[in-house]
Amino acid sequence: MTGQIQGNLLLAQGGGPTAVISASVRGVIEEAKKHCCIRGIYGAKNGMDGLLNEDFIDLRKESEKDIKNLAFTPAAALGSCRRRLTEEDYPCVLQVLKKYNIKYFFYNGGNDSMDTCNKIASLAADQDIKVIGIPKTIDNDLKFTDHSPGFGSAARYAAICTMELYKDVESLPIHVCVMELMGRNAGWLTAAASMAKINENDGPHLVYLPERPFVEKEFLNDVKMWHEKVGGVLVVASEGIKDAKGNPIAESGIIDGFGHKVPGGVAQHLSNLVISKLGIKSRSEKPGLLGRCSIPMQSCLDREEAIKVGNFAVLSAVKGKTGCMVAIKRVSNDPYESEMGLVPLKKVANVEKKLPDKYINKRGNGIELSYKEYCLPLLGEPLPEYVSLRKTPLEKI
């Protein structure tokens, strides 16, 4: 193609890793090798830290086998960071890009990373440097994309863990179990725990999300009702649930590199409430980081789309596009089909996509069927089918 910019490519990753973030690295590398205008293919170690420190690796020197297997490797292959760039940093970023003749820059991350990417794109607009954001987040809170790579695998993990935990609770129905899932201020991932529910009395019996205020009295009444009804109760709660005044139900007290309060401790807090207020035995569970990096529970669809967004990012940049993020558009649901497109970074940066109200029941403690219809294709392979015995009683002799 005539008019293509000759130069090097640099890829960096930011924020929390996922089970498919490295699949996007594979997508970028494989597509970049198809274009003669792209000479060097570099990776910045540990995101913006690596860029500012000029700590790069030559991705052309990685073996084809290893590049292929990136799609089946958890976490960020290039290393990540949670560094918020200062105004003083941005001129340094541009200086490094020019020094290494970087004409194609890609940043793979979530909301904060897209903000960084947008600022770099604005700064590099008159430098013939093409800047594209590659979406990634298990929280699924990036706007203007049907979903984000990383979410499908984390949702599959959440669904299966909930299924397994419910079978455990069902087999010894003497207590309440509270499981805490990640997702910060959005309930997309916690809602995926509902994919395990088949029959009315199955777990999870209660699901609490950041989009609805958490009311302690209602929570205790709901737990008591379900305990009297089924014995063993499974509650799933988002790490980011808040009360009516917007105060976190529990938090770690830690501030991350972007200034966000790190949530945590919700499951233990709710479990303590059940014990102290209801006098019912309770336990807490928190899959935590395992929920975002598990390869055995990786969604095949998630993996394939993560590769495709990497491919599409490079193809778009080579065609002259810049200042955009790759977005996934759902073409059909059954059978599931999607296509790739672009959305301006300035629309995406620092904007959170919350779980729509239509997906949450009126009580605010469960999920509607419409969410399951949205989420199911993203889980990839069919969920496992766990047996429930009929338990037909034998007549006494």
DSSP letters of 222-271? HHHHHHHHHSSEEEEEETT-B-TTS-BSSEEEEE-TTSPEEE--HHHHHH
Query: Quick one: which of 105, 114, 246, 264 has its CA closest to 181?
Result: 264
Query: Quick one: which of 66, 77, 54 has its CA closest to 8?
Result: 54
Distance (Å, whole) CA 279 – CA 226: 14
State the alpha helices, DSSP H only, in 294-348.
Answer: 300-318, 345-348
Catalytic residue among 139, 141, 222, 302: 139
Active site residue 146: no
Distance (Å, whole) CA 144 – CA 126: 26
| Contact between 113 and 15 (Cβ < 8 Å) | yes
What SS3 class is residue 9? strand
Going along the chain, which residue ranges are E strands? 7-13, 38-44, 56-58, 102-109, 130-135, 176-181, 206-208, 233-238, 251-255, 261-263, 282-285, 324-333, 336-344
Catalytic (active-site) positions: 139
